[in-house]
Chain A
Amino acid sequence: MVGGSEVCAVMEFFLGNHQSDFALNFLSLFLEGAPYILLGTMISGFIDVYMPSSLMDKLLPKNKFLAIFSCGLMGLILPVCECAVVPVIRRLLGKGLPISCAFTYMLAAPIVNPITIWSTWHAFSDQDQWWVVVSRIGMGYGVAVLVGIILLVIPMEKVLRDSILRTLRSRSDIEKKDKAKAKAREEQGHAHHDDEGCCDHDHDHDYDIGGSRVVMAIRSGVQDCVDVAVYFSIGVCLTAMFNIWYVLNQEVTTQYLNSVWMETGGMMVLAFVLSVCSTSDAFMAATLRGVGIGSKMAFMVLGPMLDVKLLFLYQTVMRKKFLFYLAIGLFVLIGILSVSWQEFEPFRGFFSSLEGGKR
């Protein structure tokens, strides 16, 4: 058994003289992200216990495409950042949210939510803010919806990890049992939805809304929190190490950023490495005025969908092979869209004219 001190010694060896910078990066990222992780996992715990499985069927449009389009906007009602959204969708999947809708919500919610919209608006107050805000929402929403549509044709066995699939199957069996029991009760005249009073024998616990369900909700949230905290810790460790490497080598890396494509790619790598929270990444992008608007857009759209810590958080839901393809796909798609968007001057001119009156 390897002790903690031995592992610490191994980390010291790999980090060389950079332990204090690793510690500063790790703690700052952990302190920034942990409250949101906790929020997300507590929401997920209560969804798990209190949200009826049938609710998703009732709320979502029957048309698959309309359902995906709707889920892309769910962040406006349930606003969560990228760290908090992962545990939430784990539970929503268990509640019958189709995988295409869940992934659309997961990718869109950190961008299409009031907090991120406000921070982007505020950060770009002197730089075509209408254009930037609309572009960010539009691109984030579009990419998320596209991923959702693609997922309609991919079997979920190829997307979700085994533990999630087992949960879904187990839930499905339980629901069948619940329905069968409810039907049997109705046939015996003991339906609980009528107001005719109660019978004199013991009821099944699924209609008992007592304190024990709060215990179960908190317990479920704590389990999610621990699962996610593990992947979050590993992700933050790697982010902290990448960050040290990037700063020490930024002169070498920036000299290759001499074209719009390379600059956009560079900004996406920066978003991936820095793992800044989506609620505040606009402030960082806004300070980099020497960078093109397309590259900033790539930074602000890719970052909330994919970064080092998310790569690990996503592993609580997805298979590694699918995650690899998703990461490559997002990188290429957002890169192409961002560069094209930068060149789309007529639309930008329209938004600039909106701001003209204000100046």
Chain B
Amino acid sequence: MKVFERRVMSVVVLMIAALLLYFYQHEKLSGYLKEKFHIYVLIGGLAALVVGMFSFLTAGVEGDCGHDHGAEEDGCDDDHGGDMNPFVALLIVALPMFCSLSWTTHGVSEARQNALSEKDVSSADFSFNDLPPFTLETLEKSTTKAPDGAFILNIFELFFTAGDTVQEKVINGLYVETEAKLRNEPNRNANGNRMRLFRLMMTCCAADAQAVPMTIEFEGETPDIGHNSWVRVAGIMSYERQDGVVYPLLKVKRIEQIQVPEGEWSEGLMK
């Protein structure tokens, strides 16, 4: 029975190995973890595989723990063993794992995206270290332009310029284009002609995702585009100050609905 129990415990480790290695080779791992953690998933998976297999194959071998248990005892296992029934352990580890594997869509649900993007945040709530300082000249050299001359920038770059007086000067009044999800603007929308763009940002793993929002303003009525649709928007960048907080504001010149961008982790890296 002891040998069988050891094999069950080995199966638990092999199950963890299988999960890690399955996700490492899965293209959607980036939807769960930042790239810097991927190598640990591979190393952990391979190590678990080797350890699990070794343990499974040597389950019948009598081990030597290096000290004397005396003739009356059954060997080393009683002293070194864990306090968990291996069958119960297998069930507890396997159940949430298999439920999660069957439930996952590899992306963030609409309800969660709505809840995350509801909060009114400014760039002062974040610190973004990866944005290098730029001038109009460097922007001209490094940024692709749309056919109508709009600088193509992602929403994170636009969002994090707010509050930085040097970069605000470069971007303010510039014609830019960006892609993001569209939703209603719950705050600072007295005239009802504003909507909100947002994209999710991951720090370590999907559980810590935060929404980076930006308000867009229309000259007339808001367009008839479905809630939570992905859009490509172009317009003139500006900033507004309220209660000491700087918010980026895009005054829309054109907007169109688009497919989910390739490699977007929050949508399960769709398409």
Contacts and interface: CB of A to CB of B under 8 A. Distances in A.
B67 A277 contact: no
Interface in B85-122: 86, 88-89, 91-109, 111-112, 115-116, 118-119, 121-122
Most buried by A among B43, B54, B82, B122: B82
Contacts of A274: 207-208
Given A22-B103, A204-B68, A230-B84, A35 B43 contact: yes
Nearest to A247: B115
A166 to B, nearest CB: 9
Nearest to A32: B205
Contact of B68 (A28, A177, A239): A177
Given A23-B101, A175-B67, A239 B207 contact: yes
Given A8-B99, A31-B41, A223-B9, A163 B106 contact: no
B37 interface: yes
Contacts of B106: 24
Interface string A269-302: 0000011110011011011111100000000000
A234 interface: yes
Nearest to A2: B91
Interface string B28-59: 01011100010011011101100110110010
A222 B15 CA distance: 12
Given A21-B112, A23-B100, A48-B80, A230 B92 contact: yes
Interface in A18-51: 18-32, 34-36, 38-39, 42, 48-50
Contacts of A237: 96
Dominant secondary structure of chain A at its interface with chain B: helix
A117 interface: no
A186 to B, nearest CB: 15
Interface stretch (B16-24, B177-185, B225-233, B255-263): B16-24
A127 interface: yes
Contacts of A226: 9, 12-13, 82, 84, 86, 89, 93
B32 A31 contact: yes
Contacts of A174: 67-70, 79
A125 B129 contact: yes
B1 interface: no
Given A28-B32, A31-B41, A230-B84, A167 B79 contact: yes
B65 interface: yes
B239 to A, nearest CB: 17
A23 B68 CA distance: 47
Interface string A248-287: 1011001000000000000000000011110011011011
Contacts of B51: 38, 42, 218, 221-222, 225
Contacts of A123: 129
A20 B105 contact: yes
Interface in B193-220: 203-208, 210
Interface residues of A, number: 93
A239 B107 CA distance: 18
A177 B71 CA distance: 11
B58 A218 contact: yes
A287 B115 contact: no
Contacts of B122: 290
Contacts of A210: 64
A213 B84 contact: no
B221 interface: no
B65 A48 contact: yes
Q: Name the residue among B37, B68, B208 with the largest chain A CB count within 10 angstroms.
A: B208
B252 interface: no
A25 B204 contact: no
Contact of A283 (B79, B102, B204): B204
Contacts of A288: 125-127
A284 B6 CA distance: 40
A113 interface: no
A49 B66 contact: yes
B68 to A, nearest CB: 5
Contacts of A233: 92-93, 96-97
Nearest to B94: A4
Contacts of B243: none
Interface string A159-179: 000010001001100110110
Nearest to B61: A215
A220 B9 CA distance: 11
A188 interface: no
B204 A230 contact: no
A229 B89 contact: yes
Given A219-B55, A289-B125, A35 B61 contact: no
A174 B121 CA distance: 61
A208 interface: yes
7 contacts: A21-B109, A24-B207, A35-B40, A219-B77, A226-B84, A247-B112, A248-B112
The 6 closest A-B pairs by CB, nearest first: A35-B44, A216-B63, A290-B125, A23-B104, A28-B205, A23-B100
Given A4-B91, A20-B104, A218-B58, 16 more contacts: A8-B98, A17-B111, A18-B112, A30-B97, A42-B51, A53-B67, A205-B68, A208-B64, A212-B64, A216-B66, A222-B9, A222-B55, A223-B9, A233-B92, A283-B204, A289-B125
